[in-house]
Structure 1
């Protein structure tokens, strides 16, 4: 688990990738009591973000934000060029339904791509097309890369997984029926198979009659340890007056890092001590 397995149909000019997340997905959800429908959306989005990050031509940090005005207001997944994955969801009120339109209402997808050397991240807004995470991202991929793509996603409380196929430019020249054939085979995969079968077993079961070149798998991780000093520096930047106002209202200062899934608490004495102790030298 926690890997991306890329592969190529050598005789067809069709590429693919399979991502399977276990411990990483459970870490992202740690101490978060997401309703099942929200959990499924976020897990599927984690899987497809990892796939896209693992296939970037120019490696960088990629962030997808899916926002709307429904009971689910925000889904965010962030993945670094080393496939370090994190994310969170925000929802309020009763969760009714499972489709994108039922849960998010009208919404949009924001892509941010931060590549080393760029002065600022590239950003692009994409209208939501489709009623599932798979459909939304199929539309995004076809618009951004001008090539047919297919996604099959699944997520539960323990695992998240995704299968990706993309038709490359020479596919019809190599085999006019190839894309239709492998797409049809991929459509037979079940959520249970995606979530439970070993990658090599699943690919063999689906495509045993095709010639696959399977590349070395890439590990996916969730490695964002708490950084209290960074939060302390942020609070210092707010200034003593703002901190005193927070203490007057709440008796303590609480900072939630939703993306990395950490909460930081500062008692009144700890918060005031931030301004009595010189900040550490940064090297």
Structure 2
């Protein structure tokens, strides 16, 4: 595998102290091997996201893991666009209706979830949940509920992959999907404490044709056949509190300081939203002028459209609606 390392540095110690510690995706490579990885740390961007709604603690943590996962996975696809992860319950009795998290190629993240808290019993049930795994379990037992990965290239055709509900947590389901669909061995660890979130992804890319030929001919290709086994063991040792509190560079150093790691500049991550008044006008066009005017009459001459992601409110009156359909 050939990688552009012109802006990278090999390190056997933590990256520069000037490297941002929060709200970043830090890519790394194991030199002279087909291994790539990313570490994501979310702090302010995550806090801003979950502050938009009064989420139960378990959903806050689940959204933290989902945001981290989306930020990790978009680094594995070569697109200009967005990648989102969506969970959809198939059980009407589930307390979690759906949840989604999104990251675009520029590092802009956002997330949203819908849940049931219509009575004291449901509210108490959420109060008794303390971690993301419990919220994830609200999809139902293994094999139930639906997980999607949606990829939307700018100006291109969207792609949706269905993730098998093979495990009882998001990280293992996504790692299984990567191995089964892309045939790429993948390690994923995710963590969220309700205040911060983080995760690590490591992949073993396919060997080049030349490397495969040399292995088949039993030649010394300089390939470390024990590398993946070693990385699997090392990655499994990372603790949740390390993923949510340590700088990305420190996580890489603690796990892989015996390897020759190459680390390019990190990518900043931040909360952002794509809502706009123009998109609201398009939605009004879709429902039609008659229905829009009926809504105006029901709402005493004006109505509001609010964005669930960021809380922005767009107000429309009769003049606004008339102008939309006059164009």
TM-score by length of 2: 0.75
What CA deviation, in whole Å up to 9, does each residue of 1:8-57 have, x standing for no partner? 11254322110111121122112311111111111101101111112213
Equivalent residue, structure 1, for 2:195: 158
Structure-2 separation of matches of 1:99 and 1:12:
38
Q: Report the CA distance between 1:278 and its aligned residue.
A: 6.5
- Contact conserved, 2:58 with 2:135, CA < 8 A, in 1? no
Structure-2 separation of matches of 1:65 and 1:278:
32
Choose from 90, 98, 104 the match for 1:74. Answer: 98
Equivalent residue, structure 1, for 2:149: 111
Structure 2 gaps, min length 5: 1-21, 216-222
Structure-1 separation of matches of 2:76 and 2:68:
13
Equivalent residue, structure 2, for 1:200: 249
| Alignment partner of 1:14 is 2:4 | no
Q: Report the CA distance between 1:88 and its aligned residue.
A: 0.6
| Alignment partner of 1:256 is 2:306 | yes
Q: Map of 1:23-34 to 2, 5 A cutoff?
A: 23-34=44-55
- Contact conserved, 2:40 with 2:72, CA < 8 A, in 1? yes
Rg larger for: 2
Equivalent residue, structure 2, for 1:87: 111
Equivalent residue, structure 2, for 1:40: 61
Q: Report the CA distance between 1:112 and its aligned residue.
A: 2.1
Q: Map of 1:98-247 to 2, 5 A cutoff?
A: 98-99=133-134, 102-105=137-140, 106-118=144-156, 120-170=157-207, 174-224=223-273, 227-247=276-296
- Contact conserved, 2:184 with 2:203, CA < 8 A, in 1? yes
- Contact conserved, 2:96 with 2:135, CA < 8 A, in 1? no
Equivalent residue, structure 2, for 1:272: 318
**Range with greater deviation from structure 2 (158-167 or 238-247):** 238-247
Structure-2 separation of matches of 1:210 and 1:246:
63
| Alignment partner of 1:52 is 2:50 | no
1 or 2 for the larger relative contact order (CA 8 Å, sep ≥6)? 2
Q: Report the CA distance between 1:249 and its aligned residue.
A: 4.2
Q: Report the CA distance between 1:248 and its aligned residue.
A: 4.5
SS of the residue aligned with 2:317? helix
Instruction: Give the root-mean-square deviation of aligned CA atoms.
Output: 2.6
Q: Report the CA distance between 1:86 and its aligned residue.
A: 1.3
TM-score by length of 1: 0.86
- Summarize the Cα distance change of 1:123–1:226 in structure 2 as closer, same or farther, 3 Å threshold: closer
Structure-1 separation of matches of 2:41 and 2:326:
41
